[in-house]
Structure 1
Amino acid sequence: MEFSKLIFEPTVDLKLPPVPVSFIEVVFSDVQKIDLDDPLCTSAPLPFGISPLIQSEVVSGRLLTRGDDVKETFELSLDIKEQFSYLPGDSVGVFPQNPLAEVNQLLKRLGLDEQKNAPIEITVKKGVKKKLPIYLPLVSTPKIILESVLEIRGILKKGFLRSLAEYTTEYKEKRRLLELSSIEGAAEYDKYILQQGLTLSDVLTEIPSCVPPLSLLLEHLPRLMPRAYSIASSPLSCGKRINIVFNLVVTPRGRMGVCSSWLKNKFEDVDDLSKKFEKMGVQDSSPTRTSKTIPLFFRKPSNFRIPTPIDAPLILIGPGTGVAPFIGKSISSSSFTNPFYESKVN
């Protein structure tokens, strides 16, 4: 791959940014119990959130499209455990997990594959006047950090590349990282990092002698952010359940989208188990038997509302998964005079 090829002669002085100050310390701990039900550190703000984090469970799933010439569109039905007031057109934020193969690849590269489930404590180094990002848990494990906390496909900023060079032993590889973080290497940075979207795993594959510590990733990689999905159901008919609709996203580099591939795996787990029960001649009447947890929260509603009362026909256009909010609206269309609905609209 051309990524690792040097562009400038070694005699060229590069204008480099200063090495960012390291401020996070990670130590393996004697803590025996970690709250695996709360790996996301729920004290952190939920973007546009109006509800606490809900550990919903997948009740059922179905493929909505057929044919080789159309995108696969899936629908998941989620049990949110409690009644929550919402209207068609509202949305939820879903916290995904990073692809397990990429997580394991990073763990191995960092030399943490045998300690991936060992407790660690995350603190600020003594004498450094900085604070931990609010989304970082104080106690966790390397696997949870890379799987559920950090956006391991996040854009690599120049300061991160400059820091990675400090943990690279081979001269040409270190020089290449310095080129990318320099003013002179702006075009190369734009080509490989911004346009081609190389991730940390991609860079480490091309720079074998670079072995950064986990603390460096905590300092430079962003938070794994929730993805927003419109609700494709109505509270008038679904009660404590909501439906979401999604397509399988494919990135320009041919990778499956982080959240959509994770949700698809949830769908396949439920679908496969349901088929096994069907072959056995057993009716699976217990939602908990096939359920899979999806952390989500309700987001601040937009102004996307159907006016009431409706005194004229409506034409609703929603291409692709944009049809999701209209599914909920169509379910509610016969219930606009329902006092519950009117009270929420007003």
Structure 2
Amino acid sequence: LQITLDLQGSGLFYSPGGTVCIHCPNQSCDMEATLQRLNLDGDRYLVVKPAAFSRGRESPHYPSWIPERPMTVRHLFTHYLDLRARLRRPLLHLLEHWCGDSAERAQIQRALASHEQFAQMVSERPSLIALLQQFESCQPPLARLLECLGQLKDRSFSVASAPLGWCKTVDLVFGVEREVLPSGTVFEGHCTTWMQQCAVVPSPPLTSLPVAAAPAKRAKDFCLPANLSDPMILV
């Protein structure tokens, strides 16, 4: 698939061989299901601030990448928390601690104690909502959950156009990530799936998408020379 980003008025520029970083929000269905499962009011405003850990020090698990400004819970879960991050042990430990059902707690403990069982869980690439639906009695508080969830980071895409003809737009060509998991279910990539939805919406040839694009970056030693007369070796 190919999408064209409108750079007019953004102050962004790019060079051949550069990349553009796209911030893709979480899927609305995943986000809303997670809020409902955790009994959280998406319209409630909050400010995330560090709490004293010990002797006046901040908690080492404090998510410093969340800005300290008022935002709704829905905005926090949409733009800052990676709801499909690779499963890590701290999240399982958190769920175990806040499990009300002894059988579910024992199941999590077995997965944590067994390398094979934990690896099998990781291979299924479960999202946060999938884990919460699997272990229905687990009800971790939001403050503790923020310490275990990772940051929803920008994704980098290589530039597929040249700025010589029309430097006010940039083309990105990508394939939608799809992987068949051991259970037979299909895992779909977070950002490429969202970009596909943007690309298939009926629109004019040039569409300005609501994305946060960082200035294109070039690898230090992998870029075209500034002087066109410089020799090059193409492999």
- TM-score normalised to structure 2 length: 0.84
Partner in structure 2 of residue 304 of structure 1: 222
Larger radius of gyration: 1
Query: Secondary structure at the residue paired with 1:255?
Result: strand
Q: Tell whether the 8 Å contact from 1:151 to 1:222 is kept in structure 2 after alignment.
A: yes
Identical aligned pairs, as a percentage? 21
Gap change, CA 1:232 and 1:106, over 3 Å in 2: same
Query: Secondary structure at the residue paired with 2:165?
Result: helix
Partner in structure 2 of residue 203 of structure 1: 131
Q: Does 1:136 align with 2:56?
A: no
Once the two structures are TM-superposed, the CA of residue 197 in structure 1 deviates from its matched residue by: 1.8
Q: 1:102 is matched with which residue: 13, 23, 30? A: 30
**Relative contact order (C-alpha < 8 Å, sep 6+): which is higher?**
2
Q: 1:263 is matched with which residue: 195, 198, 205? A: 195
- TM-score normalised to structure 1 length: 0.59
- Cα root mean square deviation, aligned: 2.4
Q: Does 1:219 align with 2:147?
A: yes
Give the gaps of 5 or more residues in structure 1: 1-72, 275-283, 317-346
Q: 2:116 is matched with which residue: 161, 164, 187? A: 187
| 1:224-253 per-position Cα deviation (integer Å, ceiling 9, x unaligned) | 111111112222222222121111111334
Gap change, CA 1:309 and 1:218, over 3 Å in 2: same
| 1:96-127 per-position Cα deviation (integer Å, ceiling 9, x unaligned) | 11111111111111112xx2022112122345
Partner in structure 1 of residue 160 of structure 2: 232
Query: Secondary structure at the residue paired with 1:294?
Result: coil
Gap change, CA 1:123 and 1:243, over 3 Å in 2: same
Gap change, CA 1:239 and 1:306, over 3 Å in 2: closer
Q: Tell whether the 8 Å contact from 1:165 to 1:178 is kept in structure 2 after alignment.
A: yes
* AA partner of residue 300 (structure 1): K
Q: Distance in 2 between matches of 1:143 and 1:297?
A: 24
Q: 1:248 is matched with which residue: 170, 176, 193? A: 176
| 1:129-175 per-position Cα deviation (integer Å, ceiling 9, x unaligned) | 22543311223222122211011111222122111112111110011
Q: Tell whether the 8 Å contact from 1:78 to 1:243 is kept in structure 2 after alignment.
A: no
* AA partner of residue 262 (structure 1): W
Q: Tell whether the 8 Å contact from 2:52 to 2:58 is kept in structure 1 after alignment.
A: no
Once the two structures are TM-superposed, the CA of residue 315 in structure 1 deviates from its matched residue by: 6.5
